[in-house]
Each structure stands twice: as C-alpha cells, then as structure tokens.
Chains A and B, each alone.
Chain A
Amino acid sequence: MDVLSQLQRQLADFLASLYREGFVDDQFTQLQKLQDESSPDFVMEVVSLFFEDCEKLVNNMAKVLEQQVVDFKQVDSHVHQLKGSSSSIGAARIRNVCIAFKTFCEAQNREGCLRCLQQVNHEHAQLKANLQSLFTLERQIVAAGGSVPAMQ
C-alpha cells in the first residue's frame, strides 16, 4: 500500500513536471480522459502511433532537406501533419517547434528548417523518454494493484 501511494505520488509529480515544463498540454489531459475500460491502452496506442508517425515524417523531411533543391512545399505539408498530430496528442513543445518550422518553410529558409528539424528530433526523443517512463510508472501502479488516478 505504501509502495502504491508512493508510486502514485511519483506519477502525479512526474505528470505535473511534464505540464510545467511544457512537454504536454491540456490536450493530453483530454486524451487521458478518453481512455476508459473499453480501451485501457488508448493513450499508449495513440502516443506510439504518434511517435511512429513522427519518426517517419522526420525522416522524410530530412531526406527532402538534404536535396540540392529543397521542395519547401513538401516539407511544409509534412510539418503541417506533424503539427496536427502533435496538437492532437497535446505534445506542446513539438507543436511549438512546428509553428516556427512552418514559418521557416514559408520563408524558404533552409538553415532554419534544418535547425527546427533537429529540434523536433530532440523534443521527440525527450518526449518519448518521458512518456515511456510515465507509462512504466502507470504499469507499475496497475501491477501493484492500484489504479491510475484520473485527471481532474
């Protein structure tokens, strides 16, 4: 019981820090709300889908940006997609980078785009690590027989 409450507090702290540092926003909360008994792993599914998607998009963009003549339109559409999915899951930091990214695309600024791509990669890795530890915590709590506290 002691372990469980400790874990639960840990989870709450961790989540709070995630919000505080702006990794996720309230959309993530909304997402968590959508998870119920009928789809117990909903968030994880969506998030992993997002990460897959993200990796794919990042790779594509990197390829396009490597080329001699950069097709900024293509990059822009990728960024748009990434922005859409990141705001859907509430990955605030990635979305913010995407906003800047889009501006660079419109300005056809290759340097800026590359910098943003790197940033996206970085944020993506961080978020992935963070969320993985979050899920691990949740699983531990579930394994310990507790329930994941519902978000307010």
Chain B
Amino acid sequence: MLGDGDKMWLKCLEKVSGNSCKIHHLYYQYIGSMRIRKTWWRKLLVAWIGCWIAVSVWIFWYMSSQAFEKRKETLASVCDERARMLQDQFNVSMNHVQAMSILISTFHHGKNPSAIDQRTFARYTERTAFERPLTSGVAYAVRVLHSEREQFENQQGWTIKRMDTFEQSPVQKDDSVAEALEPSPIQEEYAPVIFAQDTVAHVVALDMLSGTEDRENVLRARASGKGVLTAPFRLLKTNRLGVILTFAVYKTDLPSNAIPRERIQATDGYIGGIFDIESLVEKLLQQLASKQTILVNVYDITNQSHPISMYGSNVSDDGLEHVSALNFGDPFRKHEMRCRFKQKPPWPWLAITTSIGILVIALLIGYIFHATLNRIAKVEDDCHKMRELTKRAEAADVAKSQFLATVSHEIRTPMNGVLGMLQMLMGTALDANQQDYVRTAQDSGKALVTLINEVLDQAKIESGKIELEAMPFDLRAIMDEVLALFSGKAHEKGVELAVYVSDAVPEMVIGDPGRFRQIITNLMGNSIKFTKKGHIFLTVHLVEEVMDSMDVETESSSRNTLSGLPVADGSRSWVGFKIFNPEGSSHTPSPSSSDLVNLIVSVEDTGEGIPLEAQPCVFTPFMQVDPSISRKYGGTGIGLSISKCLVGLMNGEIGFVSIPDIGSTFTFTAVFSNGCCNSNDSKPQKQRLKNQSNTMSSTFQGMTALVVDPKPVRAKVSRYQIQRLGIHVELVLDFNQGLSSISNENKAVNMVFVEQEVWDRDSSISALFIYELIQIDQGTKLFLLGNSLSSSRTNTATSGFYTPSVITKPLKASMLSASLQRAMGGNKGNPCNGEHSSLSLRNLLAGRKILIVDDNEVNLIVADAALKKYGADVVCADSGKKAMKLLKPPHKFDACFMDIQMPEMDGFEATRIIRDMESNGHIPILAMTADVIQATYEECQRCGMDGYVSKPFEAEQLYQEVSRFLQPITSVNL
C-alpha cells in the first residue's frame, strides 16, 4: 500500500511537472499572439482543472478500494483463524468423547460383569471433565432390543422412559422429572441411558430413540461409525444453545470399510456428549485478542434455506462479512462461521486527504498560471497604454518645439527693430557713458536673440542632440561680455558686479564659447534677479589652484567679500564634485593632461538665497522655487537645467550652496583644451579675437598704476582688469602707503586708482592726497573707481579744484581703456562708435570688387546700393550659376556675399563648387541670411563659407565680418 502510494505520488509529480513544462513551452510558443493566447489559455485552464478533479477522484477511489481490500483480507484471515481454532478445539473434545466410547466398550461390554456402573462413570467423567472443556456433560445409552427389555429393566431396576414428553415440558423441576416420565411405549429397540455425568444425571433411563433429534442422531451414528451432531437446540436446564455429539459403541472391532448394516448389527450402545456451543465460542474468542473488533456468528447450515444460528447476536449488518466453513467431523451437518467487523469501516482519511491535497495543489498551480496570465495581460495592456502615452507625450513635445520655434520667430522680428534702433543710436554723437549704455543695451538685445536660440536648443538638449563646438576663444573676453550684459542691471539695483580671472588661466582655450557664456549668463542672470544689495562676483580659476588653496582660504573668506556682506561659502558648493575626490573619479587632473584646462567658475551673490526645501529640485527643468517667483521675477525655469546639461557636456559638474537671506554661490567646472599650445591652425580667428584688447593694451604697455583699496578681494579684481591693459599694478591699502609708493624715485607711477569708498570716507584726506599728488607732479592721473554714476557726480561736485575722472564699475578692460585714453591723450579720443564703424567700413571696402549673389532683385539692389555707399565696386549675380562663372579663377573679386536660399543652386552648393574650383587663393565668401541660427552657421562653415552677415546689412556686423578678411587699405587715416 505504502509503496503503491509512493509510486502514485511520483507519477503525479511527474505528470504535474511534465504538464507544467509543456505549458511553459506552449506559452512561449504563443507569446506573440495575444488574442489567440487568451482564449487558448482559458480553455487550457478549464481542461487543467477538470483533468485534475478527475485525477483526484480516481486517486480517492483507488486508495479507498485498497483500504477496503486490506480490511477484507484482514477479516478473512482473522475469521479463518477463528474457524480453524474452533474446529480444532471441537475436534479435541470430540476425540475425548470417542475415547470414552472406547473406554466403555472395553470396560463395560468387554468385561463381564461390567467394570463400570453409574457411580464409577459419573465419578470418572467428573474427574476427566477438564479434558473436555467444551462438553457440559457425557451420557451413555445402551442398545436394548425389545426382546431384551424386560430383562434389562429388571437388571437395572427402572423402566425405560420416553423422552418426547420430557422434551415438551423441559421446565419441570429436576427432582420430579424421573417420576413424572412415562415409560417408553413398546418399540423395536431402545436406547436407554445407563451412565451419565452428574451434570446430566436427569437423562438416565431415558430412551434416546424416543427423542426426535436423538433418535436421528443415534441412527446416523451407528450407521456411519463416526461422531454425528444434532442440530443446535436449547439445552435442557441451562437453556443454552447446544449440540449433542453421538458416537456409536460397537461390540467388535469393525473394519473401516464396514457397511452400515454390519455396523448396526455390531452396535452395543451410544455415547453422547453435549456441547455448549455458545460458551465454546465465547471461550475461544476470549482467548484471542481481537474480540473487540470482530463480531462472530456461527450457523448450522445443513438446511441451506434456514441457517440456524448457533452463536452470536443477530445484528443485521450489510457491511463487510467473511464466511469460513467449519468442519466438525460430521459430514451430514454443515457449519459455517461468519465474521464481521464490529465497527463500520473508518473514513478513508488518507485517500481523502491525498486526493484533496492533489486537487488543491493542482488548483493552486492553475491559479498561479491564471494569475500569471492575467498579470502578463495586464502588463501588456499597461505597456500598450504607456506606448500610447509616450506617443502623445512625444506629440506634445513636438508641438512644444513648434510653438517655441514660432514664438521665437515672432520675438526675433521686434527684436530686430530694437537692435536696429540701437544701431542707429550708436551712430549719433554720444559720450563714453552713453555709448556704453547703448552698447550694453545692444549686447543685451543680442543676448536676448541668443537666448531665444537657446530656448530653441532646449529641445535639442532634451533629446541629447546638442553638440559642442571646439574653437579657440578668449575666456576673459567672454567674461567682459557677460559683465557688460549685466552691468546695466547691476547699476540699476546698486549691486556691485565684478569679474576675476586667475592669471593661471590660459588666455585662449578651446571649447564652445557660446555654451560657456550661456552657462555663466544664466547663473549671473539668476543672481542678479535675486540680489537687491551687495555684490555678484564671478571668478574663474583653475581647478588645481583651488585644490591647492582649499584648506588655506576657508577661514578668512567669511568677511573678506567684495561688498563686505556675508556670503555663502563657495567651497561648500563643490565639495561633492568628483574632480576633488580623486578616488573613484575617471578624470582626475593628472599631470599627463597638461593639454586640458580644468576650469572652476563660481558665481557668488548676496541675494535672498534658495529656500532649503526647494534646493533639491533646482536643476529640474521648469521648476522654480515658488510659482510666485516667476510672477515676480519672470523667467522660464529652464536655465539651470540647461546649464547642468551643458556643464555635463563639458565634462564638468555643477553645484551650489545657498543660505536663505545671505546668498548663493553656484560653482561649476568645465574641461577645455589649452588654446595656446596649438595656435597654428586657427590664427586668423585668434588674431581677430585678440585684436581689440591688443590695440588697447599697446597704448598703455609698460605703465604703472597704483590701486588704493583696503579690501583685498576688490583690489584683486581691479588689479586684474588694469593688468589686462598691460599696466603694471601695485596695490596699497590707504593714501599714505600710496603716497610713499608714488614718491619712490625709482619708478614712475602713471596713474592712481582710488576706490570710491576710500575717497568718500574723508574728503579732507582725499583733498590732501590730491594736493600731495600735484606736489610730486609726475603727470600722475587720478581715477576714482565708482559704484554708480550719481554718487560720483555729487562727489566730484564737492571735491573742488581737482576733479578726478570717474570710472564706473564694473570694471572692464575696454571701458577702462576708453576712459584712460580720454583722460590721458585728449586728441587720441575715441571716435564715435557709429562713425567709427561706418568710417572703417569705408576704409575696408573702398575700391574693393565685391560680388553679390541673390536671386531676389530687390535684395540685390539694396545690397548693391549699401555696399556702393561704402565705396565698393559691386557686381551683382542673380543665381548661383552666374556667381560660379564669375568666380572661376582667375578673377578680380575681393569678396563675395552669397544668399543661401536660391532656386536651382543654393548658396551652400555654389560655395562648395567655387571652393572646389579654387586652386590657390581663397576668396572670402560670406553668407547672407535672415535667420541667424546656430544650425545655419554650422552649415555655412561646413560648405566652406567664411562667415555670415545678416540680411539686410547691419553696419556693425558687416564691419566685424569684413574686417576679418580685408585689411584696411589706408590705415594711416586712423
């Protein structure tokens, strides 16, 4: 059974695992087609459950039948065992009775006179009763023929009595029995009991042949020569069920094959034993252990249709029954034993639990598959939805980009107006300040246009398509531009603005100036937006420098600031940078990277700072600290996220530290290539970039200046700016030191810069200083470094006899140079800017042969007239092809302005062909375009154009571009 169970389990397991494997396989096969799979799966699931229900039912049936079989077997074995034992014990008793018959034949009939009388018999039988535990009594009846009756009766002293009446009234009392019995009627022969055990003494003298049962028994016994049994009946006296065993006693020894007649002849008497079957079986069962569990019935089934119960209660139980045949040695009588279990069969718990367990497992597996399926379907649905949403989001993104493109177009149009007007304003007679304002306004306008382009670029950044240029640029010039851009606003707010670039930073670096400026502009823009007082300080250092000074500087910096207001400690903003934590960073500033310049730029302000809770999302696009801020200050909120992207593209990092109400310091690093090392290839551009500052610096080369400023930080900034003009700078803390320095004979101090703060502190000391200065008389010029115009004006009004020139901050090399020029050499004065450019244009263009290519006749005429105005010799061509023909070398043209968008052959293609034709020499080709987008510019460069000018011409820009290629013919005029 157990082995069977194990096998079953194995089979089940095999089946389950096999099935699941198959299912998996099938699943993967069908994973592609969702719809088919869905219905298919549902069917499979139902089939699976159905199949497993069938399996578990079968298992239940199988196991319970096994249990039943086992029970049956147990019963059979138990029953057979009992039957055999019963039979054995019975046989033993029977043998004893038979032995007694031999005793009687030997000692009663074999001896004359008999050795046995009733008393002897009774005593003997009493004492040997232990040998016949099952017989309640033994009696001997002798065979008496009718002829011998009289003699017999006389001999015994009693008459033979009949039994049937006795049988009819068994209730009578023992003692009265003998007297009450009738004498037996005349018969052919009689079988009166002569000896009887005491227990059955009442049967003495009874004629056995007169009782129906006994008669039959006696007759059969003597005929067969074997022991015979009566049908079970109620015993006299005890009223218990019993059978009588009868043996015949023969006169002579008979052969075993004697025929019945001979046997009857030879019969001497009959010995009978009374068996108490009930007690017999009872005793037997008591001997055996399992009496409790098994119910035994013994039947006499000689008459098949009416089995006579010999033992056992007649409980009707149609349950399991086993029948064992009993052989008590009487062939005529048949007996059987029926065994049943007392209890009903127990519930087949094992089968039930096993099958239910299997069913549960199967259902669980089914459920798991179902759940998995649902989950997969759900995930697929979600995925589908996601895709839909993504599509929508992308569409929205496209719409946004389109919107941005449209809006920026729309903004550019009025901006052109603003810029044009400013351009015109530049052409009028303006003093230095006015000029600076106008230039600043114009720069800001241009920055706005750039910004619009940058907004357009946001889409590019978002899709990661932005690429950085690699061109040499002057970092300091960029800083000046940024400064110029914000100086107006700073003035307005009364915020001090300063730039400091460390001397260790190379003059030229290679990188993307536009993007670099964009980052700085953005940071500065934010700072100026949120700063109402104090300063904004932009510094550029090499990372290596900062690393060296890191631990030195920390303490002193808290008070030593530009405006004296506390600032957020900048060093905290870059503690997280990888570049400062060499372990685990990929680009440590190693000595081998001498070609790379690691810059660290920080913008420090004393603004209102960023609230702590908003600090984590500062670099998230469109995220502003508070919606009210955008109302208050404007702005889109994308600036910092763009900056972060750009910094990332420059292999740098950006970080900040901000303390509310004290200020913020933003710091970023960027990696550029050193522009000074490989200067050969990009000379003209560099030349141009250097041009302005060089012309300025040459004037003041070798001069010495003195800066009087008690604040080291501010003095450092001043020195930086003044040094850029080639002037040697000395720093002193106050007037006394200054005077001693000036009076030093060894060197000539050409100019003295005095911080307004120092000047205003005590006008008498200032006056004294001027006096001293005049006394020394070295032609030393005095300048005031003033924060704002108004205050310096009031001051100069009061200072009396000597009014020093005031240079308004923020200091810029160009501004400084202009002021110095005006102050030092009167006739060298700066010409009006507009005049300057148009004059220079005339210088540049006069007599030049220039080709203009444009398909639009109107444009052609206008451009023609404009250039002719500057004295150029202009030739027009209305198509790319014509231009191609005209520019086929050799030709006399000095430059070519080319429209980009033309039918048949556009400007790019024409340029490409022209460039191909050129063998030696290089005619400058400038694109004329209305939209000045970065992309167009890149395209221009790619096809060999040298630059671009806006259409219609803008004098300033035209000059800038043209001056790159054409050297002024008559430089003497300047």
Residues of A at the B interface (CB closer than 8 Å) are 25-27, 29-31, 33-34, 39, 42, 45-46, 49-50, 53, 77, 80-81, 83-85, 87-90, 92, 95-96, 99, 103, 107, 152
Q: Residues 387-422 of chain B: 1 if any A CB is under 8 Å from the residue's CB, otherwise 0? A: 000000000000000100010011001001100110
User: Chain A's interface: helix, strand, loop or mixed, by majority?
Assistant: helix
Best-surrounded residue of A27, A84, A103 (most CB of chain B within 10 A): A84
B420 close to A81 (CB less than 8 A): no
Residues of B at the A interface (CB closer than 8 Å) are 402, 406, 409-410, 413, 416-417, 420-421, 424, 854-859, 861-863, 865-866, 868-869, 899, 901, 903, 930, 951-953
Q: A46-B858, A49-B861 are in contact. Are A30 and B951 (CB under 8 A)?
A: no
Contact of B856 among A29, A42, A85, A96 (CB under 8 A): A85
Q: A34-B866, A50-B858, A96-B413 are in contact. Are A83 and B930 (CB under 8 A)?
A: yes
CA distance A100 to B29 in the complex (A): 55
User: Chain B's interface: helix, strand, loop or mixed, by majority?
Assistant: helix
Closest beta carbon of chain A to B151's beta carbon, Å: 155
Some 26 contacts from A to B, beta carbons below 8 A apart, are A25-B416, A25-B417, A26-B420, A26-B421, A27-B952, A29-B424, A34-B862, A34-B865, A46-B861, A49-B858, A50-B858, A80-B901, A81-B855, A84-B854, A84-B858, A85-B856, A87-B952, A88-B861, A88-B863, A88-B951, A88-B952, A89-B858, A90-B952, A95-B413, A96-B413, A107-B402
A42 close to B865 (CB less than 8 A): yes
B862 close to A31 (CB less than 8 A): yes
Q: A39-B865, A90-B952 are known contacts; what are 10 more A-B pairs with Cβ within 8 Å?
A: A26-B420, A30-B866, A31-B862, A34-B868, A46-B865, A50-B858, A84-B859, A88-B856, A89-B858, A92-B417
| Chain A, Cβ-Cβ closest to B862 | A88
Contacts of B855 in A (CB 8 A): 81
Q: A27-B952, A84-B856, A84-B930 are in contact. Are A103 and B861 (CB under 8 A)?
A: no
B858 close to A53 (CB less than 8 A): yes
| Chain B, Cβ-Cβ closest to A39 | B865
B424 close to A26 (CB less than 8 A): yes
CA distance A96 to B402 in the complex (A): 18
Contacts of A107 in B (CB 8 A): 402
Closest beta carbon of chain B to A74's beta carbon, Å: 10
CA distance A83 to B930 in the complex (A): 9
Best-surrounded residue of A34, A39, A90, A103 (most CB of chain B within 10 A): A34
Closest beta carbon of chain B to A43's beta carbon, Å: 10
A87 close to B410 (CB less than 8 A): no
Contacts of B421 in A (CB 8 A): 26
Q: Which 10 A-B pairs have the closest CB atoms?
A: A85-B858, A34-B865, A26-B420, A88-B862, A88-B859, A50-B858, A84-B856, A85-B856, A88-B858, A27-B952
CA distance A84 to B856 in the complex (A): 7
CA distance A100 to B414 in the complex (A): 14
Contact of B859 among A30, A42, A85, A152 (CB under 8 A): A85
Closest beta carbon of chain A to B299's beta carbon, Å: 110
A25 close to B420 (CB less than 8 A): yes
A103 close to B417 (CB less than 8 A): no
A103 close to B952 (CB less than 8 A): no
Best-surrounded residue of B865, B868, B903 (most CB of chain A within 10 A): B865
CA distance A95 to B859 in the complex (A): 13
Closest beta carbon of chain B to A87's beta carbon, Å: 6
CA distance A84 to B859 in the complex (A): 7
CA distance A81 to B900 in the complex (A): 11
CA distance A42 to B869 in the complex (A): 13
B862 close to A89 (CB less than 8 A): yes
CA distance A34 to B863 in the complex (A): 10
CA distance A73 to B137 in the complex (A): 138
| Chain B, Cβ-Cβ closest to A89 | B858
Closest beta carbon of chain B to A135's beta carbon, Å: 17
Closest beta carbon of chain B to A1's beta carbon, Å: 30
| Chain A, Cβ-Cβ closest to B867 | A34
| Chain A, Cβ-Cβ closest to B419 | A26
| Chain A, Cβ-Cβ closest to B421 | A26
CA distance A34 to B410 in the complex (A): 28
Contacts of A96 in B (CB 8 A): 413
CA distance A73 to B901 in the complex (A): 12
| Chain B, Cβ-Cβ closest to A38 | B868
A103 close to B406 (CB less than 8 A): yes
Contact of B857 among A29, A83, A85, A92 (CB under 8 A): A85
| Chain B, Cβ-Cβ closest to A57 | B856
Contacts of A30 in B (CB 8 A): 866, 952-953
